Amino acid sequence: MRGALVGVTFEDWAALAGDSATSRTEWAAVLGAWAEPHRRYHDVAHLAAVLGIVGELADAATDPTAVALAAWYHDVAYDPRRSDNEQVSADRARIGLLGLVPDAVVEEVVRLVLLTTSHDPADDDADGAVLCDADLAVLAGPPEHYAAYASAVREEYAHLDDDVFTAGRTAVIEQLLALPRLYRLERTAALWTEPARANLTAELTLLRSLAAS
């Protein structure tokens, strides 16, 4: 866990899921999952960052509570050796939120968590736009911040040799660059699209040069 983080206290959680013994137990379990030692990027700092941006964009959401809860769960299951982390995270949300929030909110949280598989919400999906834009905000950071993010992702995949990782990471970046729009909200698209595409393109160029060497 990197430094003192805001937005991930029980009080923050309870504002969404209520203050009860069951709620406190679930909060502790969720936060504990985000603090697993194998995480280098998908950790509590990432959770706090996404929650912070979701809060800033809450006025654009149809159901800001569901979006915030989806942020709590969107990478609650993260095993770099698996390809179904979003599904496992969604299942974890469905079980963990049972009885804490209305069933309709649970189902919206599940839908939103699954949406982070593609980061490609429909044009009329305001909640999906808020969550996906917040999750991808890291791509638009200053080049040195983006480099730190990319390095942390590489550490999470330390079990892969360079050739396999390079091929997989190249595919991820190509998928992101192929999205009709990286960011769906007007305000985030205006601010973040250009720097994000520049960062992604620079990394893709580096990866392709490594693959060719």
Confidence of residue 101 (pLDDT cuts 50, 70, 90): very high
Residue 125 belongs to a domain: no
Average pLDDT, the chain: 96
pLDDT at 28: 98
Q: Do the domain assignments include residue 20?
A: yes
pLDDT over 90 for what percent of the chain?
96
91 and 11 fall within a common domain:
yes
Expressed as residue numbers, the domain containing 197 is 136-213
pTM score, two decimals? 0.95
Question: Is the pLDDT at 108 greater than 70, yes or no?
Answer: yes
Residue-wise pLDDT for 114-146, tens only, equals 999 999 999 999 999 999 999 999 999 999 999
Torsion of CA 57, 36, 39, 37, to 10 degrees: 150
Whether 26 shows a pLDDT value over 60: the answer reads yes
Average pLDDT over residues 60-82: 98
The pLDDT, as a whole number, for residue 154 is 97
Rounded to an integer, the average pLDDT of 84-97 is 98
Q: What is the mean pLDDT of residues 76-102?
A: 97
* pLDDT for position 213: 83
Domain count, the chain: 2
87 lies in the same domain as 36: yes
The reported pLDDT for the residue numbered 3 is: 42
Question: Within a domain: residue 129?
Answer: no
**Looking at residue 6, what is its pLDDT?**
79
pLDDT, tens digit, 9 for 90 and up, residues 31-63:
999 999 999 999 999 999 999 999 999 999 999
Are residues 107 and 205 both part of a single domain? no
Indicate if the pLDDT at residue 176 is higher than 90: yes
Could you tell me if residue 141 is inside a domain? yes
Q: Is residue 199 part of a domain?
A: yes
What's the chain look like in SS3?
Answer: CCCCCCCCCHHHHHHHHCCCHHHHHHHHHHHHHHCCCCCCCCCHHHHHHHHHHHHHCHHHCCCHHHHHHHHHHCCCCCCCCCCCHHHHHHHHHHHHCECCECHHHHHHHHHHHHHCCCCCCCCCCHHHHHHHHHHCHHHHCCHHHHHHHHHHHHHHCCCCCHHHHHHHHHHHHHHHHHCCCCCCCHHHHHHHHHHHHHHHHHHHHHHHHHHHC
- Tell me, yes or no, whether 80 and 175 share the same domain: no
Residues 87 and 11 in one domain: yes
- Does position 98 have pLDDT exceeding 90, yes or no? yes
Greatest Cα-to-Cα distance within the chain, rounded to the nearest angstrom: 57
